[in-house]
């Protein structure tokens, strides 16, 4: 058994676990976080498994670029008209809890955000 077999995000990509999807294409998936820290809290993940940003190489460059370029569109569609925050937690000291690269997109009125942030 490999790490991907127990990866919650790989299971979401495979359709084995439900998610509230907001975007999907051949390379990435975006969905609502089940424990939101802000009125808008989306996760954007590559469909192919990579543990963390620290494990990325040139082969992940294109999908990382596409993920970053998709974020403003997703944030606007979710109602973030006054800005948003992006976070990638990397490794244990970086606060990473799920070891499948993921990008947090947080937005909405700051007074409504819940701490601690991811």
Query: pLDDT tens for residues 43-100?
Result: 999 999 999 999 999 999 999 999 999 999 999 999 999 999 999 999 999 999 999 9
Count of structural domains within the chain: 1
Q: Angle 4-88-25 (CA atoms, 0-180°, nearest 5)? A: 60
Q: β-strand 103-107 against 21-24: which pairing, if any?
A: unpaired
Report yes or no on 24 lying in a domain: yes
Residue 54 in domain: yes
Domain for residue 48, yes or no?
Answer: yes
- Where in the sequence is the domain holding 15, given as residue range(s)? 3-112
The distance from CA 14 to its chain's CA centroid, rounded to whole angstroms, is 16
Residue among 49, 102, 104, 111 flagged as catalytic: 102
Contact 86, 72 (CB under 8 A): no
pLDDT in tens, 1-50: 456 779 999 999 999 999 999 999 999 999 999 999 999 999 999 999 99
pTM over 0.85: yes
- Residue 90: CATH number of its domain: 3.30.428.10
- Cα 21 from chain centroid? 11
The answer to whether residue 118 is domain-embedded is no
Reply yes or no on whether 35 is catalytic. Answer: no
Per-residue pLDDT, 3: 60
Q: Domain for residue 85, yes or no?
A: yes
């Amino acid at each position: 058994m490999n790490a991907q077999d127990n990866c919650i995000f790989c299971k979401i990509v495979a359709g084995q676990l439900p998610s509230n999807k907001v975007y999907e294409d051949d390379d990435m998936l975006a969905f609502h976080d089940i424990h939101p820290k802000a009125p808008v809290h989306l996760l954007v993940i590559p469909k192919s498994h990579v543990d963390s940003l620290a494990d990325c190489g040139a082969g992940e460059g294109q999908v990382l670029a596409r993920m970053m370029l998709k974020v403003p569109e997703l944030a606007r569609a979710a109602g973030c008209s006054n800005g948003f925050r992006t976070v990638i937690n990397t490794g244990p000291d970086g606060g990473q809890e799920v070891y499948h690269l993921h990008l947090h997109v947080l937005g909405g009125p700051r007074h409504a955000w819940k701490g601690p942030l991811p």
